[in-house]
């Protein structure tokens, strides 16, 4: 197990402080300046799971309220909203410096059978044909400020293969459709709860970037403020995140200094395992709006 994988698994092993009060590590993960959104979502889901037995999450809805501070832990307060015959509902509040940074509602369901259908997985070349995240970043490393270069290149636990990667520093306007393959080999053997938490963590990757693509922007171009505002996720079936999954994303709308994004996550055998939606802040700062 690599150090990056071990670090992520530790992040999701939230500590119980009281019956419904938990503490999660704030440092580590995808970013060093502020806490990655998927980090807080996954820890909130892990905290909620500590109060649920015999049921798996089928949906979660979260609002990001304040940026997370990676220098201190995050406290998660879980409210047991309902324990029903088929469904369980939990509300989770994430707190730092005495203030909410996220609140989330999650619903859990017993295993039930019913009618089934799904949209087919798009036809996309397999992951082996695309460069890894590490290979892409190595190409641009010498153009990144020395101050940020080590963080830019440090190993990360999620293996990502973008289907249509953009130039980090000089992107051209592109279609909002945005697909990638991702997996975490270190998830092999993890239980169903951890598999969901890991996929929730990874579901925040590249999603907001879909609304940047038509405007010729990336996180490295500057000229705008960005932040995830909310995040919704629906789990449709079992997750084995040590295996490749296709994440297809698009952005049907940007406007009002916001971008709306949605995604579908398929197992490599074509099963639709999750759907995602997110709105993010996209506020122009100095560059001309395209």
Catalytic residue ranges: 204, 228, 278
Q: What does residue 157 show for φ and ψ, rounded to 5 degrees? A: -80, -20
Cβ partners under 8 Å of residue 129, min gap 6: none
Torsion over CA: 251, 253, 257, 260 (sign): negative
Cβ count within 10 A of residue 148: 12
Distance CA 137, CA 131 (A): 10
Cβ partners under 8 Å of residue 90, min gap 6: 48, 51, 52, 78, 79, 80, 81, 105, 106, 107, 108
DSSP designation for 124: -
Cross-strand pairs, 92: 78, 104
DSSP 159-190: EEEESS---SSS-----S-EEEEEE-GGGTT-
Distance CA 290, CA 279 (A): 19
Question: Comparing C-alpha atoms, which of 157, 139, 203, 206 is closest to residue 179?
Answer: 206
Question: Comparing C-alpha atoms, which of 231, 277, 276, 274 is closest to residue 118?
Answer: 274
- Check: CB of residue 37 under 8 Å from CB of residue 204: yes
């Amino acid at each position: 197990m690599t150090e990056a994988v071990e670090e992520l698994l530790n992040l999701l092993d939230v500590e119980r402080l009281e019956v419904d009060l938990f503490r999660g590590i704030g440092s580590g993960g995808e970013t060093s300046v502020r806490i990655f959104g998927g980090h807080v979502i996954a820890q909130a889901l892990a905290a909620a799971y500590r109060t649920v037995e015999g049921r798996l999450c089928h949906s979660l809805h979260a609002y990001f309220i304040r940026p997370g501070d990676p220098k201190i832990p995050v406290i998660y307060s879980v409210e047991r909203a309902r324990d029903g015959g088929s469904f369980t509902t939990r509300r989770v509040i994430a707190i730092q410096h005495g203030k909410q940074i996220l609140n989330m509602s999650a619903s859990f369901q017993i295993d039930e059978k019913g009618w089934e259908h799904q949209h087919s997985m798009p036809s996309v070349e397999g992951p082996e044909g695309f460069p890894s995240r590490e290979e892409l970043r190595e190409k641009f490393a010498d153009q990144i400020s020395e101050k940020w270069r080590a963080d830019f290149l440090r190993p990360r636990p999620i293996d990502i293969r973008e289907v249509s990667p953009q130039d980090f520093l000089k992107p051209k306007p592109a279609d909002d459709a945005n697909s990638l393959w991702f997996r975490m080999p270190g998830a092999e053997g993890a239980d169903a709860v951890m598999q969901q938490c890991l996929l929730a963590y990874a579901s925040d990757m590249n999603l907001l970037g879909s609304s940047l693509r038509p405007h010729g922007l990336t996180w490295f171009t500057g000229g705008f403020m960005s932040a995830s505002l909310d995040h919704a996720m629906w789990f449709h079936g079992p997750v084995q995140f040590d295996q490749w999954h296709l994440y297809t994303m698009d952005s049907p709308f940007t406007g009002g200094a916001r971008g709306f994004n949605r995604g579908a996550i398929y197992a490599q055998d074509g099963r639709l395992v999750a759907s995602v939606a997110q709105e993010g802040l996209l506020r122009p700062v100095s560059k001309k709006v395209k």
